[in-house]
Structures are given as structure tokens and as C-alpha cells.
Structure 1
Amino acid sequence: MSTQPLAPAIQADEVVWSLPGVAPVLCYYRQGEGCPLLLLHSMNAAASAFEVKPFFDDMALKQPLYAPDLPGFGRSERADRVYSPDFYAQVVVDIIKAMDCGPVDVLALSTTAEFAARAALRDSDLVRSLTLISPTGFSRRRDSRSPVGARVHRILSLPFLGAGLFRALRTKPSIRFFLDKAFGDGAPEDMVEYARNSAAQPGASYAPFYFVSGQLFTPDAVGELYLPLKLPVSVLYDEDPNISFDYLEEVARQGDNWSLVKIPGTLGLPQFEKPSLTESALKEFLKNL
């Protein structure tokens, strides 16, 4: 494993929070005016706040921006703990409380859309709106809380097997293979390099193995998380090789608080491939709140 500290993912101010039961959590931030926007990266073997970097660099957003490395990723704590949907939902709640700026707008990528929805249901006074980019949870899935997921995780946690598998996952060719799926013309080189360095940090396999074993997903996300939402929700999506949206339109039809916006020609990370269209969709949604 690398012993060199991971460089900042975003050129911005930084704050480190000691959340209840979690220490430390690093968050990039930029001052601004209006309701703050909390940006949550996705879950994968090399996830980090780098995934939301375009919101800082490529978009003329005026509101305060906050982008944490969630526990288990980036430059935040990577403890050998139990990672679960409840754990991450509470982390989101605690981050918003640490921001200490009233209700916030939350933007979440992929799997963290489920955590953000769970957090909004847990404490509705903290979240004004949700913007979900290529969210998971709109397809049929097996029960991630079944013994199967736990058994898979135990196998992945075996010292030699798990370490060998993660070494293979964190090689540059492997990371490029998976990231390229989200880009029509291939992933940016700086993103691949940062992901490789992030996945080489001590403790980098702990949280991803919970993701790989399916234990970070909610089996009935539609019924448990999405349909109960009463706050404004915007979904930005198009084609995603890893995610299906079987029930997305059905959910949107059942509540006038949902808006769906396709960002054409994108594969799950529109903030990189189509930053202008993503910015326009985000601004249009937020200005109408």
C-alpha cells in the first residue's frame, strides 16, 4: 500500500469534521451565497470527491459548495468497521449538522442517492431538495441484507484472497476499464490517476468490499426510500452501463415533487461529459424551489 498522503481532489478550502463515532471526515468547500449544496460522490473501489470536481471547476455555481470524502474513501477515515446504508445515511445527517447552515440542497451520485434519500427521510428539516445523478435503486434486486451478501463479504475479507483481489482491482488498467464505461471517449487521465492513488491508500478495501458484496444497497429502495419522499427531487440521467431505471418513470408519475431530466450522450457522469447541460439542469431545478 502507498504510504504517501493522497493529494487534494479539489482545489478548494478544506475542513475536517469529527462526526459522532467517525473521525476524521475531510470536506472540500467554497463560500458563496444562498442555500448550500452538498455534493456526495458515488461508491466504488476508488471513489472520492474527485467525482464532483466539475461542480467546482467547470460550472458557474454561486451557492456555497461542500464535497466530503465519505468515510472509507479519499482522505477521510478508512477504518475497518461495518459500512451499511444506515451508517452512511447517518453520516450524511451528521455532515449537514456539522455544516451548521440550516436546510441544504443535496446532490448525490449513483448509490449515494439511496443514502441521501434515507437521510432526508430520517431528518426532513435538514434537506431542502435532492438532485440524484444516475441513481441506483430503480430496478429489481435481491435482498442485500440476506446471508449471501454477508458470506461474500467474509470471503472477500480473507487476508490473502481479499488482498489479492483488491490489488487486481486497483491496478491502473483495471481502474481505467471501469471508469471508461462512464465516458464515450474514455475517462480523463487525471481522474484515472487520482483513483489509482486513492485505491492504494491504507484501508482502501474496507468500504469497497461492503459495496462489492451488495451490502450497501436497499432491496426495496423504491418503496422504502423514494416513494415516501415529499421534498423536491430532480433526477439527471441518460444511459448508464451499470444501472437500470426500470421504475424511475413510474415513481415520478406518482408524485408531482419529482422531475426527470435526460442529459443526452452521457453514461452516468454527466458533470464530466456535459457540464454545461448538467449545470443548466441543476440551476433550473434549484431556482424553482
Structure 2
Amino acid sequence: MEGQSLPAAFDAEEVPWALPSSPSVLCYHRPGSGPPLLLLHSMNAAASAFEVKPFFEDMALSMPLYAPDLPGFGRSERSDRVYSPEFYARVIIDMVETMDLGPVDVLALSTTSEFAARAALEAPELFRSLTLVSPTGFMRRRESRSRAPERVHRVLRLPLLGAGLFRVLRTKPSIRFFLDKAFAGGAPEDMVDYAWACAAQPGASYAPFYFLSTQFFAPDAVGDLYEPLRLPVQVLYDKDPNISFDYLDDVARDHDNWQLTRIPDTLGLPQFEAPAQTQAALESFLGQLS
């Protein structure tokens, strides 16, 4: 597996998965009782399962926890392939089928919320609920189904330009700058260090370049992904420096299966800034399902 020199994101059992969609996925696991919870990190230049570390270490959750490094990130395979919303939705479905534990609950961060919603629409029998943390797709923007993102991606893949850009993005000051936006008091130093190490792994730029060229975002996430969902959905949010939630209240008002929970004084990663409130909201939501 690529990235063997990268240490574990946190202390947990490490389970290697060989999926039909991706041959080498590293998943962190903690046993428990009840329906399992699949925890999905966000998309950025240095993403990894470290982003869900508080669910393992700072919360007293009783359910089984599964937290993969998604393909292209962390300690999972980072091959030079097409990374797309459809690919990640298939990976999520493959992971749930591999778990073979019946319908599961999924918690997804930011952009990965769109992938989780897509997976739940494609295979609704595999999913019991979705918890979306500061999800993308609710801000007012022009719908565009042009090929401009693909052209941007081709430019980013130019050897000199792309390599130079990623060298700048993966520097520790750059990583700290972007992570600090999600924390009122600055990002934890161990998070900055781990993200920096992630971005230095072989193949680290392949998936992020798809993210940077905006190919991970649905043109109309509300209409295509969120409104058609029929399973219970909870949104944990407050403020986010990178996105807004212009249409979120409208979706919740018009769909009884949606529940909004604000975690005050957080900036997109409430599991770090307010773990107790995040756990309480999560347990309350999942308890309603039982």
C-alpha cells in the first residue's frame, strides 16, 4: 500500500480493505454494539481520517466505528486514476457491502456529504441514516454543467505548473493557513503535522487536483442529491469560512426527514471544537431511529 511511511492517524484497529472499486483502502475500526457508524473525512489537499479522530478519542460513543482513508488520501491507494463523485459514491457502497452488517449510519464531512447522498440514492437499502457535517451544496451559485472544470484539471496536471502549485499548497505554512480557518483558536498542531505528512506522500496530488478543479461538486446538489433523499438526515453546522447554507432551511422546511442541529461557536469541524455537543446531537438523532 502506498504511504506506508505515514503513521496511523490515531490509535485504533487498522483494517485493510480490497474493494471492487479500489484495491487498497485502509480503514480504522473500533468495535461496539448496535448499527455501525461509517465516518467519512472531507476533501482537501491533505485530507485523511485524522479529521474524524475525536469520534474515536474524545467521545464515548458505543456503536461500532469505521473510518476509512478514502482512495487518494491518507494511507489508502493513491493511483493516477479518475477521481469523481461517482467513483467515491461507488467506494462508499462497496465499503458498506464489505462491512456486511446491514443498513449503516453514515457521518460525512463537507464535500463528502454530496458523495454520501449520491451513494444513499443509488443503494438506499444499505443506509439507515445520514449525518452531514457542514455539508457543501447549499450555497447560492450558478448552475453550470460546462466542461470548464475538466479544462482546469488538465492545466493543473501540466508537469511544471501542477507540481509547482502543489509544492506550495503542501508546505506547512500553507496547510496551517487553511486549517486555521476552521478553528477559532487555530488548528491543533498535531493536525497540522499529520496533514503536512499526508501531502508529502507519493501520489498525493492526484485526487486533490480533481477537488481544486471543482469536479467534486454537483452543479445542483440540492435538486439532484439532497431533496430526493428519503432516509433520515441530520445536518450539524454553524458557520463555515469556505461555504454557506443559503438553501439549507428551505430543504429542511420542505422535507420532514431532515433535521438541522446548530453547534454554536464552531467553524466547520464541531467534532474538534465542541465534541460533547457533537456527541449529544449525534446520539439524540440516532436514538430516534431506534
Q: Which runs of 5+ in 1 are unaligned?
A: none
The amino acid across from 1:23 in the alignment is: P
5 Å matches for 1:157-176? 157-176=157-176
Distance apart, 1:100 and its partner CA: 1.1
Deviations 1:154-188 (A, max 9, x none): 01001111001000000000000000000000000
1:225 corresponds to = 225
Counting only pairs closer than 5 Å after superposition, residues 68-79 of structure 1 correspond to structure 2 as 68-79=68-79
Counterpart CA distance in 1 for 2:285 and 2:204 is: 35
Q: Deviations over 1:135-154 (max 9, x none)?
A: 00012334565221011100
User: Which residues of structure 2 form unaligned runs of 5+?
Assistant: none
1:223-278: per-residue Cα shift (whole Å, max 9, x none)?
Answer: 00000011000000000000110000000011111100000000000000000000
Contact 1:144 1:218 in 2 (8 A): no
Deviations 1:31-83 (A, max 9, x none): 00000000000000000000000000000000000000000000001011111
Give the secondary-structure state (helix, strand or coil) at the position aligned to 1:19.
coil
CA 1:134–1:166 in 2, change beyond 3 Å: closer, same or farther?
A: same
Do residues 141 (structure 1) and 144 (structure 2) align?
no
Corresponding residue for 1:208? 208
Aligned sequence identity (%): 72
Counting only pairs closer than 5 Å after superposition, residues 79-94 of structure 1 correspond to structure 2 as: 79-94=79-94
> 2:53 aligned with 1:58, yes or no?
no
In the alignment, the residues of structure 2 paired with residue 102 and residue 144 of structure 1 have an alpha-carbon distance, to the nearest angstrom, of 37
Q: Which residue of 1 aligns with 2:14?
A: 14
Which has the higher mean CA deviation after the structures are superposed, 92-101 or 143-152? 143-152
For 1:215, the aligned partner's letter is: Q
In structure 2, what residue type is equivalent to 1:89? A
Contact 2:21 2:90 in 1 (8 A): no
**Alignment-derived partner of residue 155 in structure 1:** 155
Which whole-Å CA distance do the structure 2 matches of 1:104 and 1:247 have between them? 27
Structure 1 residues 227 and 3: alpha-carbon distance in aligned structure 2, compared to 1, 3 A threshold? closer
Supply the distance in 2 between the matched residues of 1:120 and 1:162 (Cα, whole angstroms): 34
Which region of structure 1 is more displaced relative to structure 2, 144-153 or 189-198?
144-153
Q: What is the alpha-carbon distance in structure 2 between the residues aligned to residue 159 and residue 144 of structure 1?
A: 28
Checking the alignment, whether the CA contact within 8 Å between 2:133 and 2:236 is kept in structure 1 is: yes
Mapped partners of 2:40, 2:142: distance in 1: 25
Contact 2:113 2:132 in 1 (8 A): yes
Query: 1:101: which partner in 2?
Result: 101
CA contact (8 A) 1:138 1:222 kept: yes
| Contact 2:4 2:75 survives alignment (8 Å) | no
* Equivalent position of 2:278 in the other structure: 278
Aligned partners of 1:117, 1:4: CA distance in 2, in Å? 31
Output the CA distance in 2 between the equivalents of 1:51 and 1:175: 14
Normalising by structure 2, what TM-score? 0.97
Counterpart of 1:242 in structure 2 is 242
User: Kindly tell me: are residues 231 and 4 of structure 1, through their superposed partners in 2, closer, same or farther at Cα, counting changes over 3 Å?
Assistant: closer
User: What is the alpha-carbon distance in structure 1 between the residues aligned to residue 239 and residue 218 of structure 2?
Assistant: 22
Secondary structure at 1:46 match in 2:
coil
Determine the C-alpha separation between the residues in 2 that align with 1:286 and 1:4: 35
State the Cα deviation string for residues 62-109 of structure 1 (Å, max 9, x = none).
Answer: 000000000000000101111111000010000101111110000000
8 Å contact 2:54–2:275 — kept in the other structure? yes
Are residues 82 and 143 of structure 1, via their aligned partners in 2, closer, same or farther at CA, if it must alter by over 3 Å? Answer: farther
User: Alpha-carbon deviation of 1:14?
Assistant: 1.0
Kept in 1, the 8 Å contact 2:78–2:204? The answer is yes
Provide the rounded CA distance (Å) in 2 between the counterparts of 1:182 and 1:39.
Answer: 19
